[in-house]
Amino acid sequence: MTPANLPSVIRHWIGGDLVDASDARTFDVSDPVSNTVYAQAARGSAADVDRAVTAARTAFPAWSGISNRERAGVLYRIADAVEARHNRLAAFETYDTGLPITQAKGQARRAAENFRYFADVIVSLGEEAFRQGEEQFSYVVRTPVGVAGLITPWNTPFMLESWKLAPALASGCTLVLKPAEWTPLSASLWPEIFAEAGVPAGVVNIVHGIGEEAGQALVDHPDVPLISFTGSTDTGRHIIRSSAQHLKTTSMELGGKSPAVVFADADVEAALDSVVFGVFSLNGERCTAGSRVLVERPLYEEFTRRLAERAANVRVGLPADPTTEVGALVHPEHYERVLNYVETGRKEAKLVAGGTRPDHLTGGNYLQPTVFADVDREARIFQEEIFGPVVAVAPFDTEAEAIELANATQYGLAAYIWTSDLKRGHRIAHAVESGMIWLNSHNVRDLRTPFGGVKASGVGREGGAHSIDFYTESKIVHVALGQVHTPRFGTGS
């Protein structure tokens, strides 16, 4: 279903104005249900990025100079403006990404909460102070880094944009946002949201475009000292190499191939619910998806059979249908990539569910949730991120083998552990090489906690005070309290 008030042109937002690309170029934007072009988006170049950076630098002194309380007030108004567009935002997100409408509505709510949360953080966050006896007092001053470059992915784009926008603004940075080219529609709502909330012109600038052009120009710009990126590991490696020239601060939230480790003594119903939701929600297009399910051998056959049954019953359908659980994959190029992995999996393992387009959907980027069993640790579908509704299941016999299999990929973003033995659960949690662990829980996040991965899953942490640390510099000021006793070099005494 086509949303009302769908724009036919998506333009940059620079210095408080909606503008075309400096060379007037555009690129096509299509929906994943029909793969029909519905809009043109401005195709940003280095010249557009430079205009945006100049606007951000001009706005920086005033924005960074106001109090934390004043900035928090603006963030609260942004949250209100997001919520006021709740239904429209969800409709845009569903239409552009293929996410089921019920899940898109959840992303809209989370986006508003991100702004409220970081407004609270910046007001309540204190600074450190140290006293060295009666001799010296030292205190820390936080200062915003400057112009932040934000590069966001195509999955749940609006929420993930808010996840970067909110702490950057709270910290006093101005910024340039480069949304993903496959899903720019919901980003077209930001200009009216920021204008309504009273964000000064130039504080936020949005440049659309292709990653290799607009994204690269943002990474290369000498007046952008900080880059926050969410996306693929290969792109993250490239950004880090490019950023080294100007010694930029980077935060990289990259790929994942997260294990879900299920012991025979687990609450099977809860573990099954978590595994099914964790890998098939958001169409499987989520970095923290538990896409490798490791099951202790006494439970393996039963759990695999029931997982396959659940996958076969997942409702695949039109994203706008409120009964849909899995919608259309985001783009034909990505859809083809996921299908190629399915064909590879047929050669590497045992297909026990899905693997084909649902019979009732003759067009669009649809795939029935897919389960492969008896997957060898060397298989590509075990090792590589698929980023779709595809899961690999493998057995283990011992705790040591479970840990070894969980750590057997280049990734280390998330992990899920299911056991009624909490001592064992903690042992596994400490031994698994992942930045985030959920023990007898599905993916529920507290916004105060650090978010990020290890190994090829990322560099740095964001979330709560960690985000403020990223967008600010800490300066230590030392003050003498008494008589200064400095060794007197050069006096001859």
d(C-alpha 126, C-alpha 106), whole Å: 31
**Could you write out the DSSP letters of every residue in 446-468?**
-TTS-B--SGGGEES-BSTHHHH
Residues ≥6 apart with Cβ < 8 Å to 74 = 169, 197, 198, 199
State how far the Cα of 117 lies from the Cα of 447, in Å rounded to an integer: 8
Q: Are 283 and 390 in contact (CB under 8 A)?
A: no
User: Per the structure block, which two tokens stand in for 427?
Assistant: 């042992």
- Biggest alpha carbon–alpha carbon distance for the chain: 94
For tokens 């090792």, the residue is 383
Collect all residues with Cβ–Cβ distance below 8 Å to 336 and sequence separation of at least 6.
Answer: none
**Count of CB atoms situated within 10 Å of the CB of 106:** 17
Q: Retrieve residue 182's tokens.
A: 């496959």
How does DSSP assign 215-248, residue by residue? IHHHHH-TT--EEEEES-HHHHHHHHHHHGGGT-
Tokens representing 177?
A: 């946002």
Pair 188, 72: CB distance under 8 Å: no
- Angle at CA of residue 182, ends 180 and 185, nearest 5°: 80
Alpha-carbon gap, residue 428 to 402, rounded angstroms: 8
CB contact at 8 A, 413 and 256: yes
Nearest to 418 by CA among 119, 432, 409: 432
Q: What are 465's two structure tokens?
A: 């005070």
Tell me how far apart the alpha carbons of residues 474 and 286 are, in angstroms, rounded to a whole number. 33
Chain Cα centroid distance, residue 26? 26
Q: How many CB atoms lie within 10 A of CB 86?
A: 14
Distance in angstroms (rounded) separating the CA atoms of residues 117 and 387? 29
Question: Catalytic positions, please?
Answer: 253, 287
Crossing angle (nearest 10°) for helices 68-84 and 101-124: 170
Asked if residues 259 and 288 have their Cβ atoms less than 8 Å apart, the reply is no
Cα 92 to Cα 356: distance, rounded to the nearest angstrom: 27
Which residue in 219, 214, 215 sits closest to 240, CA to CA?
A: 219
